[in-house]
Amino acid sequence: MSDRVAQFTAFATLGLVGVAQELAGAALAGLDGADPELVAEETLCLAATATARAAEVGLRADPLLAQAVVPVLLDLPFTYRDYLVGGAMIAQQDPALLDANEAVYGRLQRKQAFYTAHLPPGQFPGERLLTDKMGLWMGRISPPRLPEAPMARLERLGCVSTLLTHLKLVLAFARREGGEST
């Protein structure tokens, strides 16, 4: 079981980090004046939650594997932040960075709560749901007073298909690992 947990977690995490970077990059390139830290945090929380939901659905046939993997995926924004802070502490030799990390954790908890409320447990975020919820994401990461609506920006940047492809991959891999026939 531990090999399967490790393999699935590695697969989903690699995809999650990659898709979050791709989405954040597209958003920053397409939104003049967007705050890079805000975009990164919101995007990572959205991608982590959506990935966890895809894994939950795909692993229904193996609830023990789901119980081992899904919390790790939901916690990834915090794990990633720990990694970044650790790297900064080593580079700057400044343990005071841990104190500043508490404020960031609070922000991440609020963002994660937002996305977990909007992407229901046990439900695969299909294209329609994803489009709706990514419209909220686009509104949250966009600077004020942009000339187009968040949904128009979302469509222009093509972000839904990027995340949906990742979620379909996670779902298929989860079904295979969980023993469910596709």
Q: Please say whether the beta carbons of 144 and 34 come within 8 A.
A: no
Helix axes 159-177, 36-58, angle to 10 degrees: 30
Lowest-confidence region among 21-25, 73-77, 177-181: 177-181
Prediction pTM value: 0.91
Q: Please say whether the beta carbons of 73 and 19 come within 8 A.
A: no
> What pLDDT does residue 179 have?
75
pLDDT in tens, 91-145: 666 666 566 667 788 899 999 999 999 999 999 999 999 999 999 999 999 999 8
125 Rama class: left (phi>0) / alpha (psi -120 to 50) / beta: beta
pLDDT (mean) for 9-20: 96
Average pLDDT in the chain: 90
